[in-house]
Amino acid sequence: MISLDNVYPQYITDEKGKKKSVILSISKFQELIEDIEDLAAVAERRDEPTIPHKRFLAELKNDGLI
């Protein structure tokens, strides 16, 4: 997850100095988008049932994935 300590945004302001927009590097913007997508996926799956870790590993082994 991206840390705000190393984002270094630049701001576009109006004539009164009020911040209106943000300029980020492409790499930081992409990192933020990835984080947002990850958080959205977690939120969508929040209410899904869980299974014990041992059972999950057993299923992966049975499926030949590990």
Q: What pLDDT score does 2 carry?
A: 83
The answer, yes or no, to whether residue 64 has pLDDT greater than 90, is yes
At 21 the pLDDT is 98
pLDDT digits (tens, 9 = 90+) for 10-28: 999 999 999 999 999 999 9
- The overall average pLDDT reported for the chain is 95
Rounded to 5 degrees, φ, ψ at 57 are -65, -40
Tokens of residue 12, six digits: 């576009």
How would you class 24 by CB atoms within 10 Å of its CB: exposed for 0-12, middle for 13-18, buried for 19 or more?
middle
Tell me the mean pLDDT in the region 56-61. 97
Q: Where are the domains of the chain?
A: 4-62
Q: Which amino acid is at 18?
A: K
Provide the pairing of β-strand 10-13 with 19-23: antiparallel
